[in-house]
Structure 1
Amino acid sequence: MSVRVSLVAAARGSSLLGERFDDDRPLDEAGWHEVQFAAAALVPLGAAELRYCSPTARSRATGQALGFAPMVQPALRDCDMGRWRGCTLADVTAREPAAVDAWLTDPRSAPHGGEPLLAFISRIGGWLDTRPACDGSIVAVAEPAVVRAALVYALRAPPSAYWNVDVCPLSTVTLTGLPRRWSLRLETGAR
């Protein structure tokens, strides 16, 4: 039996330029408006048998606003960015350009002292692979980085592909399959 996992990217908590590593900001006003606008399309996902969310404030708030009443899953936390936590990419690049270059090019490196990209992708893949195999469905609201990591893992893409996946707030992707045998499912707007 296979399982269907729909991943919903959390609404935004700050502008793109204000995004900080491993940030736990709540939804901002624009994020709340985005959730209200997208709710009609996303609320049906709440019929899933299992509903989860990342432990971040904006993931929890997005799931609650959509009526999912999700259970927090610590395994769906964002990548641990160590001493870079709370900094913008521009801040870190100005201070540690060689470290940023290493982080972007070597998935095993963790110049920030946190979690290497490869370990992050593996952790998210481990969560996917331990979902119950059933003919039902699961929905999880997570940070965009978590959704990117899940896609890279499910498609068995090289870790460098992580940097080529753009996940917009409130975008949704569905994975179907069994542990270590995932397929990406693209659906039409009509269900």
Structure 2
Amino acid sequence: MAECRCRRADQQKDQTVHTGQTDHTVYTGQTGQTDRTKRETEKDRRLAALLEKYREERGALIPLLQGVQEIYGYLPGPAMERIARTLRLPAAQVYGVATFYAQFHFAPRGRHVIRVCLGTACHVRGGARIFEALRRQLGVEDGGTTADLRYTLESVACIGACGLAPVIMIDDDTHGRLTPESLPGILARYE
């Protein structure tokens, strides 16, 4: 299981997420660091523009959360605190709204999100075997992300493609009539 030993944002350094194989730098909201990449600087600029667009518009909380997640791929704590300051809302309210909705994520996610249907039709046709095969192959639990940030694995109640059961979605692509043996070939397309 991955372990996270993170520095607090007020320690003026980016957090490092230790996953046992690869370390990943995570946004902390601090600026002026010499090792910041151009990509992170661009994300900071996009965040600043987004916050300016909705400055003090209390009704803009959800669009701001969506925008931050679009920029970073998840909701970094320091970015949520900046949202609270921008909208003049208590941080607890921002966190409360963000944690209410399943669409928001609080840790870095994989470049590819794999959703495994465990609905009735998929369950009857071996959806649990598909999920277990993916879990073993990727080495993560439900909701987990691989150490290389390539894949995030999630179980879902229904994808809506029952005629193709068992079904998975990788990003926006639906793959049906699966067997555990068919999974390595499908995953290879997303490397």
Taking structure 1 as the reference length, the TM-score comes to: 0.21
Q: Which has the higher contact order (CA 8 A, sep 6+)?
A: 1
Taking structure 2 as the reference length, the TM-score comes to: 0.21
